[in-house]
Amino acid sequence: MKTGHYKQYSEHLIEKYGEKVYKLPVNLPGTCPNRDGTLGLGGCVFCDSKGSGFDCLPNTESIRQQLEENKVFFRRRFNAKKFIAYFQAFTNTYVPLERFQENILQAASVDDLVGISVSTRPDCVNDRYLDFLAEVKERQNLEINIELGLQTVNYRTLDRINRGHTLAEFVDAVLRVKRHGFETCVHLILNLPWDDMADVRENAKLLSALGVEYVKLHSLYVVRDTVLGDMFRKGEIGIISLDDYIERVAEFLVYLDPEMVIQRLVGKGPRADLLFSNWGISWWLVKQRIEEYLVNNDIHQGGKFDYLNGKAVRSLLPAD
């Protein structure tokens, strides 16, 4: 469904690059400071052992191999010509600086790339890594995008889901990424069992205030053999209905800066070991239901984006 009610990523890429651009996932063997003992052992309560990197090629293949193989697939299937290398699974800046540099250089050597997207945690964003990315951007004319998992701005919920960082580290990371001239994409889950509508609005307001460029929304999925899975089976958490979730997404969008691009309105979730995902229907049906709700209720992204730049003094300003 085409809807002008929110800013869609695919359309944004066409506007920016003049044609469709496809993301090539890179899957590296790795871990995360929230799983290896540096910050904690269990990881986020919803994290499975794959580090949120499902849908990737095996991580035994080299970065170049993975990119080239994925490129062939996208070329054949969609006649694709431009690509973004997407370091997706685990925490891609949580490796020694030298190895990180090698990884990035290997990716940057692949033809037809317009950008590199690096997924990581807010507490793994460091100036030295960003300085190197700035050199690559300059030298090879590649757009750099840092993708940050946040999930919620509610720092009490961040503690309950065992993120291992608070809101302050996220704000610090975004400001650092901005100082280096890169774009930021933020992941949020709008139906964490401990959050309510006020948190949903604050998610939108904080991302807008920070000038984040992209957002990815996921609904909460529950995987077997995770802390969240145990809570779910024991009935310790409840998940809001699909109708309530749709209202949350709409409320989020209405408070969001209209210029922010929605990379994803709903996540797919892993294929195996699921206890709960997208209310038992496919992700595209959830997406369709959200879009229908926006259209039927005449809701537009940014409809209530009026709260920045000293809202209270606006009426006191002299006329231009």
Residues in contact with ligand SF4 by CB under 6 A are: 32, 34-35, 43-44, 47, 51-52, 90-91, 121, 149
Q: What is the smallest separation between the CB atom of 104 and ligand SF4, expressed in angstroms?
A: 19
Of 12 and 50, the one with the shorter C-beta distance to ligand SF4 is 50
Q: Report yes or no: 211 and 182 within 8 Å, Cβ to Cβ.
A: no
Of 47 and 118, the one with the shorter C-beta distance to ligand SF4 is 47
Q: What is the smallest separation between the CB atom of 7 and ligand SF4, expressed in angstroms?
A: 26
Q: What is the smallest separation between the CB atom of 52 and ligand SF4, expressed in angstroms?
A: 5
Q: Which residue has the tokens 């195996």?
A: 272
**What's the Cα-to-Cα distance from 202 to each of 75, 154, 162, 206, 251, rounded to whole Å?**
40, 8, 20, 6, 10
Burial category of 306 from C-beta neighbours within 10 Å (exposed 0-12, middle 13-18, buried 19 and up): exposed
**What's the Cα-to-Cα distance from 160 to each of 64, 69, 165, rounded to whole Å?**
38, 39, 11
Of 161, 173, 172, nearest to 93 (Cα)? 173
Of 37 and 318, the one with the shorter C-beta distance to ligand SF4 is 37
Of 32 and 246, the one with the shorter C-beta distance to ligand SF4 is 32
Of 123 and 247, the one with the shorter C-beta distance to ligand SF4 is 123
Sequence-distant (≥ 6) Cβ neighbours of residue 27 within 8 angstroms: 53, 56, 57, 58, 59, 66, 88, 89
CB burial readout 89-126, b (16+ within 10 A) else e: bbbbbbbeeeebbebbebbbebeebbbbbbbbbbbbbe
Q: What is the smallest separation between the CB atom of 32 and ligand SF4, expressed in angstroms?
A: 3
Sequence-distant (≥ 6) Cβ neighbours of residue 160 within 8 angstroms: 45, 194
Q: What is the smallest separation between the CB atom of 34 and ligand SF4, expressed in angstroms?
A: 4
Q: What is the smallest separation between the CB atom of 33 and ligand SF4, expressed in angstroms?
A: 7
